[in-house]
Each structure stands twice: as C-alpha cells, then as structure tokens.
Structure 1
Amino acid sequence: LTGQPLPDKDLNKSLETVMGDFAIVSREPIIREYDHEVQGNTILKPLAGAQADAPQDGSVVDIDGSDKCMAMACAILPEWGKTDPYAMGTGTVDECVRQLILVGSNPDKIGLLDNFCMGNPEDPAELGRLVECVKAIAKAADAYNAPFISGKDSFYNYFETEDGPINVPVTFLCSGFGVVENPDHVIGSSLRRNNSLLYLIGHTEDEMGGSVFARTHGVEDGKVPQTDCAANMELYKAYYSALTSGLVLSAHDISEGGLAVTAAEMAFSGKGGVRLDLTKVPTVNGWKSPAVPLFSESTGRILVEVDPEFAADFETAMDGFPCACIGSVTEEKRLTATCCGGEKVLDCDIANLKKLWKDGLTPYY
C-alpha cells in the first residue's frame, strides 16, 4: 500500500465540502445566460436528467442533412499545473477525449483545440511549465490520434507586487468535438432506473495531488495523477464497442471530485440512490484510506450503469481491461459506501448534496 495519511474521520462532511466547492458546483447560472438551443438541434444538453438540471459530460448537436451528429466537450485542470504541468497536459486531453466518447463520439473521429493561459513567458520557470505542458499534449494527441486543429493563447497574466511578480498558474483548456455516428449512441450521464448495476472501468490509485479533496483538506505533496494515454485509448475503444452494442444505460466520467462526486451527479436525475463497495474498486497499488477511492482523480475512469440482464455481456466486452461491478442503484435516494469489513464510510442524502451543488453560484448571480 502507498500514500500518505489522509483525513478520513468524517467523509460525509468531506463530500459536502467537495460538492460545494467552486470547481464542482453547477454552472447552471452561466449556462442559462447563453442559448444552447439555437435552431432546436441540441440532442444532449449541458444539463439534462429528469429535472433538466443534472450535469452531462458534453453536448451533442444534430446536423441538418446528415444522419450523424456532432459532440462537444471541454476539460480544464488548473490545480494540477501548479506542481506537474506535464501531468496537467495529458490529464486534460484525456478527460476531454473521454467525455466525447461518453456522449457517443467515435474514438477515431475526434478533433481538439487548445487554449493556454499563463503568466510572464519571459520568466524561464513560467516558460518551462508551458513547454512541459505542450510536450504532454503533443504526446496525448498522437496517442489518441486526435489532431489539434486550432487554439488560442493568453500570455502575460501577471502583476507586480512589493514582494515580487505574481503569475497565474499555467493553465490549459482542452476543447474538442467528435462525430456521433448514430443518435442512439447518445445516452447521457443521469441514472435511468432502480436496481441497475454500476461498473467502474479504469484503475483508481493514491494520486491525490491536485485534487479538490487535497485542496479543501490541506493535503500537500500528493502525487498528481499520471496518464497512460495509449492504454486509456484501448480502454475507451472497448467501452465504445459496448456502448454501440446497446449494453450501457448511462455513464459519467470520473474527474474533478472523484468517484463520490461522479456517483452523486449521476443520482441528481432523481431516479434513485447509489450504493458503493469500495473494496471492489480496481487498483494496482492499493490505498490506505477510503478517502482515496472516493476522492482520487486518477484519469481514464468511467462509472457505467448497466442493466443486470446485460451484465455478463458488458463484462465480456470489457474483458482484459480494469473493470468491476462496484455497486448498484437503489430506491432509497442516498449515496452510501462501504469499505473493508463492510464498514459504512459514507452515507449522504442525495437531495442535500444536490442543493449544495446546485446553489453554489446562485449568490453571485
């Protein structure tokens, strides 16, 4: 087992703190300022689910005169760049590509755009961080066979103080679009029914560096998640095959906030609650604290809702890849998680979590 000691005495409170953080909360006030319904072609909206307010991994737009659709997604991980700009580069591209595939994009038909925001490029340290990030995104683009077709840069975001210059952290926004071959491949991130099974694909490691949990709980010196883009691409292609075979009810990427946030967001549709068994979460090196499987932001992971009738077929489709049934959808609208020996380490009311998430930006609008 690896990793440093982590706060794990009140993980209910920890989830509430993370769920209400600015990096996690709903962007609904911002989304509603813009018209994402132009021409009435939006198939998957930024917010969907039973009450049209649950987060999705991207959006999908119908294309007039075509039997195909276009998907759009974006990703940004500014905290990672403070300590590991290379990991920020690969992780951000990975998240964007993963989200595009989750909303139905063909993995072989994806294009990317970069947007950099940084301080003074004449500062060797700042320029070095940018160079490391660019090296990373170039490698990721090759691994995903996804070209960068355009982008934008914003430099000199810094100011002088009596104590010296202050630069914004080198930050990379990755936007992307993909071709959806069939509208039937668009399923969304909201839970569809009770008593379905939840599968986690991808490895979860003690990589708490740059995470929302680490920042909100004062955890320092954690390892920033490292990304094997080539391995993740093979995993995504296997998932895409399962998706296009009709084996997936819904799915959501595990990114900012970790598994606990992902599970809660899927349940915001109002269809039911979630029960998780953390001992089933796939891992290579293990962990010491249940906070890791709940809040780690390891890349390349997806939480997938599967009908029990198709569980065997889904497992066959994911054979050879890290994949395990880690829970189920319950009628009781709570998010619970057990760890070693069946100890319950998390038990939160979904409605309360949704309120924290939904109202995060309301005071500012």
Structure 2
Amino acid sequence: DGIHGVTFASGELKRESRRVAYAAVQIGNPIEEKKIVDAILQARDENLFNAITDCGGGGLSSAIGELSEKTGAEVYLEKVPLKYAGLSYTEIWISESQERMVLFMPEENFKRFKEICDLHNVKATIIGRLRDDKKLILKYQDKIVGEIDLDFLHNGMPTVKRRAIFKRKEIIKEIDWEIKDYNELLINILKNENVASKEWIIRQYDLEVQGGTVLKPLLEGSPSDGVVLKPLKEKDIGIAVACGINPSYGEISPYWMAASVVDEALRNITCCGGDINKTGILDNFCFGNPEREEVMGDIVETCFGAYFAAKGYGVPFISGKDSLYNEFKSGKKIIAIPPTLLISAVSVVPNINKTPTSYFKKPKSKIVLIGETYNELGGSIYFSLFNKNFGKVPKVNPEKGKRIMEKIFQAINQGLIISIHDLSDGGLGTTLSEMTFTNNLGCKIDLEKVLLGEDIKRPDVILFSESNTRFLCEIEENRIEEFLNFMADIKLAIIGEVIEDERLIINYQNKNLIDLEIRILKESWEKGLSSKI
C-alpha cells in the first residue's frame, strides 16, 4: 500500500484513477501508531536518538533523503520489514505505508532502543548507516541499486515558477426577495448538508479509546464545537481539538475564506475551554490544478489570508499538508473543487472540570450574544438555499477577536458561562436551534436586541448572517450582572432567555418570526443529511 501515493495525489482524476488509487492509498493502523508513539516518547526521554522523521510522501526515499542531506547515507533495502511479501526494491524504497518512523542514533544506543520497542511490541530494525561523502547509496542483497549525490538531489532541480492570477469575485447586491415563512426557512437551513447532523458518520469511530474523552463531538443531541481529551490520568489538564472549514467562502474570496476558517477554529477552541495563547494550528490546502494560473491565484490569496489571521491572533502553524490537482475533465469542461482550506487547532485546557458544553441548562438563564453582526452573507448557508453567489464574505479582525476570546476564556474559568456555542454555518438561527437539542429547553429571543456593526433593516440578515468572532453564551440569572461587569470592555448584548417551554421563539418588531417546537427543529437537523443521500 502507499505505492506512488504522492504521484497519485498530484495527478488529474481520470477514469483509471480508481484502479491506480487502490495501491496508492495508505492503510492506517491507529493501534500500531499508538504503540510506536509511546515507544518513541520513552526513547526521547532517554536521549537515545539524534534525528527523527515520519515516512510520509515518498516513504523512505524522502525520509532518509531529507535527514541525511548534510552527511549521506547507505540503505540496505532487504532489511526493511515488509507488510507484504514480494515487493521489489523500488517498491520498498517508495512505499508510503503508515505507522513507520525513521530515526538516526549512535549504534551503541540501539540495544536500549530495541529493548524499549520490544516492551511496546514495536518492531525496530537497523536498515542503514550514515556516510560522510554526501552520497545516498541504496543496496539490495549486496548490490548497489541506486546512487545519487545529495547536493544534486536537493539543489540540482531548478525551483518551479508558477504564474498566479486572481480576479476578485465578490459581488455586492441587495437582497431582492421577501421571506414569507421564517419557520420553513429555518427548517431548510437545519436540513442543509453543511449544517445537518453528521452523527451517522461520527458513530462509525470509537470516541472512547482509553477512556480519556472529556467533551465528545455529540452531547445527546447538541453538537460540540470540538472535543477535549484528558491525556494524563493524574492531572486535570486537557487537550482541545477543533476545526474550521468553509469552501463556499473560497468560491468568492479565498483570502477571507482562509482568515475566516482560522477564526472559526479558534472560536471552537475557545468554546471548549482552550487557551488561544497556548494553541497551535495546522493547515490542509485542497485545490485544483496549480498549473492553471487562476487556481494558483486562489492558492496565493489563501496563503495571504491564513498568514494575516494567524499572525494577528499570534498562533503558530505547527504542521500542515496540501492536496492539489483535485479536478477532472468532462469533455471540454474542467470540474474542480472550490478553493478550500481546513484549519485544525490543538490547545491546552488548564482545567477540564471547567470545560463548558453547548446546550442550554437552566430556565430563566440569560442568553448573551458576544460580538457584532454585519451584513455578511456571501457564501452563507442562507444564500445557498436560493442559489445566490453574491454578497460580502465575513471579514476577520484578529486584534478584536483575540481580546474577545481571551476574555471568554477567563470567564469560563471563573464559572461565569454555563454553556457556549459559536456562530458559524447558518448564523444565529442555527446556533440557537442546536443549543436547544440536548435538554429540550427552549428560548425566547428578541432579534432587535442583537448588536449590529452596521445599519441592517432586514431580520433575515440579522438571523442568518455568518459574521465571524461571535459567541452565544448562557449565563445564570443570578450571575448576569457579574458577567456583564467582567465583560464591560467587550461588545455584547442580552438577546433573550432560556424557557421551560420546548419551543424556539424569535421575535422581531413585536411579531414572532419563528415559533417552532424543538422536536421539529431537532428532527430536521438529524435527518437532513441522510435524506439527501
């Protein structure tokens, strides 16, 4: 498995791709990976090795080729442990089979390293040695089957230069339709495949490995903003993991799409009780063929947007990958995926006992919306229902956003927030609905109380705008004044309260725009995706 994985990933998708992909796709084994990680961490603590890398794209060829750049190496390919018999030395050299690491260590350390690996039931094999002539030599059964100068390998090829063109796609127009039934509109948004429950996918994975899951993806109904794990049994420190993604924004503005998904990942980390000042992020670029100048233009814009947001928030990129050439031809037409950036974030949760959840808990609690709402519906779920591809993609203000998230983090750890959920796909309407699912506690909302960043006359814009850096918080009635005083320098508004009645009621100008039973909302959300497959 994993033969020519990167070659396959860098080629255009064709009819033959399915046949080729079978051998190119790596077959993972998470249990084996866990054992390897444990063994390597123990060896690290004993200072047994000097250098390490994984067998990613290109397998041993890239791993050893990279690590030995300054020295040279000699590799004995017949000594490489095989998952499958009968592999040629070429296949051994380029296979991208997973759960493998390459380490460089003094020979005298190998005995102790092997003892550690045996303890964890991990195979460890010496497959070569370093040289001092900056040559990479491959041997198979005592015959030299490959030899290359490492200076040439790393510097012999000229740098590829690509032409990038970007044409602005953001079209500003006024909404030219009226909404007759807001109840039906909200139901259709909850049914949208990008909003609806993904439970049938999530449940195919084990969420309880080692019993360290503190916050799960689903909370008996309401979706979480991320997950929290407890890696150390003797300590209450946790790890939060969350993501941000929105390809629809990328079709209009790759720059603001990138900034938005960084913001979303950090919002989700904040909602899990994570500290954004102890957060690292990872990027995953998914695009079409970069040899086309308009695709390269989208990639460049995305890089600038991601840089802007990460730099502004002060969060480092600790890893990442790309998946390009995601397109194929149908006749003369090129069909490509939209410009897409997935941001994953990992963070420290100082006290897992303070980890909040995303569902309403107490009747009469106050519902507070943190952040300002703008007329930002470009790429929104709302506009997708009407097949509209215009409007402003949500912008990001990292300076303001960081201040908000730091303050929320402090409020969570002071016990001032009993539930919190960020606003993203579908805006306020989606977030309110999702917070009712677990306890079947409803809410009554006054849409006119929402804090606006600009003059907005239409309730549908307020309800379904996807402006960034907004949070919906539940605050106990007897602590609302304390919360407001603590958050005095942050823009927010009390927009409603939790009620015992199992209904979502949203009022605008003394009229109920939405009045729906939670049962109907939840059913729409739960069955939305499966009904379209």
Same fold (TM over 0.5): yes
* 1:72–1:177 contact (8 Å) kept in structure 2: yes
Hey, what does 2:467 align to over in structure 1? 298
Which letter maps to 1:332?
A: D
Match runs of 1:54-133 below 5 Å: 54-64=222-232, 65-133=234-302
SS in 2 for 1:94: helix
Match runs of 1:8-47 below 5 Å: 8-47=179-218
Instruction: State the distance in 1 between where 2:256 and 2:193 align.
Output: 22
Larger Cα-atom Rg: 2
Hey, what does 1:228 align to over in structure 2? 397
Hey, what does 1:356 align to over in structure 2? 524
Q: CA deviation at 1:6?
A: 4.7
Instruction: State the distance in 2 between where 1:169 and 1:303 align.
Output: 30
* 2:262–2:309 contact (8 Å) kept in structure 1: yes
Match runs of 1:1-365 below 5 Å: 3-48=174-219, 52-64=220-232, 65-340=234-509, 342-362=510-530
Describe the superposition over 1:124-166 as per-residue Cα deviations: whole angstroms up to 9, x where unpaired: 1111111111111111111221111111211001111224322
* 1:143–1:229 contact (8 Å) kept in structure 2: yes
* 1:7–1:217 contact (8 Å) kept in structure 2: no
SS in 1 for 2:309: helix
Instruction: State the distance in 1 between where 2:211 and 2:250 align.
Output: 38
SS in 2 for 1:283: coil
Instruction: State the distance in 2 between where 1:231 and 1:165 align.
Output: 41
After superposition, the Cα gap between the structure-2 partners of 1:68 and 1:35, relative to the gap in structure 1 and judged at 3 Å, is same
* 2:450–2:495 contact (8 Å) kept in structure 1: yes
Instruction: State the distance in 2 between where 1:298 and 1:6 align.
Output: 21
Q: CA deviation at 1:271?
A: 3.9
Q: CA deviation at 1:192?
A: 1.0
Which letter maps to 1:136?
A: G
In structure 2, runs of 5+ residues without a counterpart are 1-172
Q: CA deviation at 1:5?
A: 3.9
Instruction: State the distance in 1 between where 2:492 and 2:484 align.
Output: 8
Which letter maps to 2:385?
A: T
Describe the superposition over 1:307-338 as per-residue Cα deviations: whole angstroms up to 9, x where unpaired: 01110111112112210000111111111111
Instruction: State the distance in 2 between where 1:175 and 1:18 align.
Output: 25
Instruction: State the distance in 2 between where 1:5 and 1:112 align.
Output: 40
* 2:418–2:476 contact (8 Å) kept in structure 1: yes
User: Which is further off, 139-148 or 218-227?
Assistant: 218-227
* 2:504–2:517 contact (8 Å) kept in structure 1: yes
Instruction: State the distance in 2 between where 1:225 and 1:3 align.
Output: 16
Q: CA deviation at 1:347?
A: 1.1
Instruction: State the distance in 1 between where 2:286 and 2:177 align.
Output: 32
TM-score by length of 2: 0.66
After superposition, the Cα gap between the structure-2 partners of 1:5 and 1:287, relative to the gap in structure 1 and judged at 3 Å, is farther
SS in 1 for 2:204: coil
Q: CA deviation at 1:289?
A: 1.1
Instruction: State the distance in 1 between where 2:463 and 2:473 align.
Output: 16
Instruction: State the distance in 2 between where 1:275 and 1:5 align.
Output: 29
Q: CA deviation at 1:63?
A: 1.5
Which letter maps to 1:41?
A: G
SS in 2 for 1:274: strand
* 1:3–1:206 contact (8 Å) kept in structure 2: no
Q: CA deviation at 1:9?
A: 1.8
* 1:192–1:271 contact (8 Å) kept in structure 2: no
After superposition, the Cα gap between the structure-2 partners of 1:364 and 1:281, relative to the gap in structure 1 and judged at 3 Å, is closer
How much is the aligned-residue C-alpha RMSD, in angstroms?
1.4
Describe the superposition over 1:167-190 as per-residue Cα deviations: whole angstroms up to 9, x where unpaired: 211101111111000012201101
Which letter maps to 1:110?
A: T
Q: CA deviation at 1:4?
A: 3.2
Hey, what does 2:166 align to over in structure 1? none
User: Which is further off, 85-94 or 135-144?
Assistant: 135-144
User: Which is further off, 156-165 or 79-88?
Assistant: 156-165
Instruction: State the distance in 2 between where 1:135 and 1:185 align.
Output: 36
Identity between Structure 1 and Structure 2 (%): 38
Which letter maps to 2:205?
A: Y
Q: CA deviation at 1:364?
A: 7.4
Instruction: State the distance in 2 between where 1:137 and 1:220 align.
Output: 23
SS in 1 for 2:277: strand
Instruction: State the distance in 1 between where 2:266 and 2:425 align.
Output: 15
After superposition, the Cα gap between the structure-2 partners of 1:30 and 1:329, relative to the gap in structure 1 and judged at 3 Å, is same
Which letter maps to 1:298?
A: S
In structure 1, runs of 5+ residues without a counterpart are none
Structure 1 runs (4+) deviating above 6 angstroms are none
Describe the superposition over 1:261-306 as per-residue Cα deviations: whole angstroms up to 9, x where unpaired: 1001000012410111111101121212110111110000000000
Higher relative contact order (CA 8 A, sep 6+): 1
What is the aligned length? Answer: 360
Q: CA deviation at 1:352?
A: 0.6
Which letter maps to 2:388?
A: V
Which letter maps to 2:422?
A: D
